[in-house]
């Protein structure tokens, strides 16, 4: 287990936090230089276990799209959605558990729901709810869901000004806590480049560490993230600093007493 190797790794590393996702207690324990997710992708049985864990880890907790958690329908009041426009893009969404639950909760909402993940995960997703699109995608590369062109203003019979309508929601669940700040900036930049100002939202479903008395779950996961990928759980201040560094601003951090994770609502800075 990587966490069991933390003392030996830190002693070797002069008790400095790891800064490189290819040189962590995980690599030290497994005898590899591959990033943990690359290591899993090459081992289908481990990848399957991880995906199943991610699908079941929030059983019994309040979902972010519950009306008493995050007001989905209120946020969609001025949206320009139809069956062909993207509503929700679940970035790094694994087997699509979150997207399926969202669609079941809001079966009549128009718009496409797309789950993106690496090919090894998409291949495992053999049964998904009708109306969920599965797409192979590496979130460190350009975001392919950029919406459709819409005629915004007719200038003449021959010329029209068009604008791009990206997805309303780009959703990341337990993604950014797996990566260092530099890697997170890369992931977020791919989204920033396709966001429509005043329309698109980035929704980050993740832990927000309180400044005092954090729970044992959050502190233990902070150790796990360090061991697996040189990453960390972040405080409110750290989330603001990270998102601001890529041109995003936090609109609100939504929480619910029956959920250990929060939902960070962000959009392009003005």
Catalytic residues: 177
The CA-atom distances, in angstroms, between 250 and each of 2, 91, 228, 245 are 34, 19, 27, 12
Residues 155 and 27: their CA atoms lie apart, in Å, by: 59
Listed in sequence order, the residues at least 6 apart from 268 whose beta carbon sits closer than 8 Å to its beta carbon are: 192, 195, 197, 198, 200, 247, 248, 249
Residues 99 and 205: their CA atoms lie apart, in Å, by: 13
CB atoms within 10 A of CB 258: 12
Which pairing describes strands 262-268 and 86-91: parallel, antiparallel, or unpaired? unpaired
Give the residue among 226, 254, 247, 256 at the shortest CA–CA distance from 21.
Answer: 226
CB atoms within 10 A of CB 201: 18
Say if residues 171 and 90 touch (Cβ distance below 8 Å). yes
Say if residues 133 and 113 touch (Cβ distance below 8 Å). yes
The CA-atom distances, in angstroms, between 172 and each of 14, 54, 115, 154, 202 are 34, 13, 10, 36, 8
Which pairing describes strands 208-209 and 234-235: parallel, antiparallel, or unpaired? parallel
Say if residues 189 and 246 touch (Cβ distance below 8 Å). yes
Which pairing describes strands 234-235 and 248-254: parallel, antiparallel, or unpaired? unpaired
């Amino acid at each position: 287990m990587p966490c069991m190797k933390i003392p030996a790794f830190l002693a070797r590393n002069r008790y400095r936090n790891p800064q490189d996702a290819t040189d962590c207690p995980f690599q030290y324990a497994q005898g590899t230089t591959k990033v943990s997710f690359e290591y899993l992708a090459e081992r289908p049985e481990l990848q399957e276990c991880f995906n199943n864990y991610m699908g079941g880890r929030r059983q019994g907790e309040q979902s972010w799209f519950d009306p008493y958690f995050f007001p989905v329908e209120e946020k969609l009041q001025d949206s320009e959605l139809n069956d062909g426009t993207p509503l929700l893009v679940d970035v790094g969404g694994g087997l699509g558990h979150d997207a399926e639950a969202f669609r079941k909760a809001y079966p009549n909402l128009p718009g496409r729901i797309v789950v993106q993940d690496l090919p090894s995960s998409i291949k495992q997703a053999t049964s998904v709810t009708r109306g969920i699109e599965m797409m192979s995608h590496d979130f460190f590369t350009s975001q392919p869901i950029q919406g459709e062109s819409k005629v915004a203003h007719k200038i003449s019979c021959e010329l029209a000004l068009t604008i791009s309508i990206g997805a309303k929601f780009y959703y990341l669940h337990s993604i950014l806590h797996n990566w260092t700040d530099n890697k997170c900036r890369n992931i977020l930049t791919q989204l920033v480049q396709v966001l429509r100002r005043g329309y698109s939202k980035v929704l980050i479903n993740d832990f927000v560490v309180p400044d005092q008395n954090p729970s044992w779950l959050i502190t233990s996961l902070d150790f796990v993230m360090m061991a697996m990928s040189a990453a960390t759980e972040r405080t409110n201040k750290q989330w603001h600093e990270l998102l601001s560094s890529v041109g995003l601003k936090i609109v609100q951090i939504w929480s619910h007493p029956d959920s250990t994770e929060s939902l960070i609502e962000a959009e392009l800075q003005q």
